[in-house]
Amino acid sequence: MEPVGRKEELLHRIAVALRGHEANKPASGAAAGRETAQSVADRIARFRNMFESQGGNFLAGPSLDPLLPELGEALRISGVTALFSPPGDERARLVAETLVPFGPFRLASPGEIRQISAPSAAGFQTAEFAIAETGSIVQSGQKGKTLLPGLISDVHVALLTPDAFVDSMDQCLAALSEDLPRNISFITGPSRTADIEQTLTIGAHGPKKVIAVLLP
């Protein structure tokens, strides 16, 4: 694939990828026809409240362009120096590439991040679902997709589109049951555990920080 140059071209390609994603999303019958902009906005607002209450960071704006400095700053504060995305996730790759000058960051491969001497990295991935009632981001292994960005990165950046939001866990599982994946990851804020002497540890089994970016 030819190298990508100017930021404007990258932003244009992300917009095209978003439109293609919306067109390929299966409709849910009569309910899809009754869906209103207000109901989608309410669902997103409920997700945001729950997600932020669990320690997640939620970024949204009229376009991706004004979000890039804020996202870059959040990653720099977290000590991130490298960005990676899974194979086949064109949207995640384009957003990561566009963000490189705001670090400055460098692009890395998932294989490099799995090494013992790996740099502090942010893993980008397009979320399959965002559950409003729990504030959870959902990734699955459907069609051979990897879960690595939400498992091995220091910061996980989940890219959300309005059609990814569902009201409940039941709706999410019902959608996945049509082609049940072997692996499903529910990400609700940063990884945390208190298994050792009841002392809370952030990032013990996954990312220390989770950022959800709502792409318009």
pLDDT value of position 68: 95
Q: What's residue 75's pLDDT?
A: 97
Q: State the maximum Cα–Cα separation within the chain, in Å, rounded to a whole number.
A: 52
For the entire predicted model, the pTM comes to 0.79
Beta bridge partners of 155: 122, 209
| Residue matched to tokens 């569902």 | 166
Q: Classify residue 175 by burial, with Cβ atoms within 10 Å: 0-12, 13-18, 19+.
A: middle
For residue 204, the model assigns a pLDDT of 53
**One CATH from 3.40.50.10420, 3.10.310.30, 2.40.30.40, 1.10.3760.10 for 7-21+37-214:** 3.40.50.10420
Q: How confident is the model at residue 37 (pLDDT cuts 50, 70, 90)?
A: confident
Residue-wise pLDDT tens digits, 77-114:
999 999 999 999 999 999 999 999 998 999 999 999 98
Q: State whether the Cα torsion 131-93-181-153 is positive or negative.
A: negative
* Helix ranges (DSSP H) in 144-215: 169-176
DSSP label of 143: G
Residue 129: predicted pLDDT: 96
Q: Which residues contact 63 (CB under 8 A, 6 or more apart)?
A: 11, 216
Which whole number is the average pLDDT over 68-80?
96
Give, as one character, the DSSP assignment of residue 10.
H
Q: Which band of pLDDT confidence, cut at 50, 70 and 90, is reported for residue 51?
A: very high
Mean pLDDT of the chain: 83
SS (H, E, C) 117-139: CCCCEEEEEECCEEECCCCEEEE
**H-state helical runs in the chain:** 7-24, 30-34, 37-53, 67-77, 90-99, 110-113, 169-176
Closest among 176, 141, 158 to 26, alpha carbons compared: 176
Per-residue model confidence (pLDDT) at position 19: 56
Model confidence at 181, pLDDT cuts 50, 70, 90, reads confident
Q: Within 10 Å of residue 157's Cβ, how many Cβ atoms?
A: 30
Task: Determine whether 144 is exposed, middle or buried from the number of CB atoms within 10 Å of its CB (0-12, 13-18, 19+).
Answer: exposed
Please say if the pLDDT value at position 180 is more than 70.
Answer: yes
pLDDT value for 116 = 83
In this predicted structure, the answer to whether residue 164 has a pLDDT above a threshold of 90 is: yes
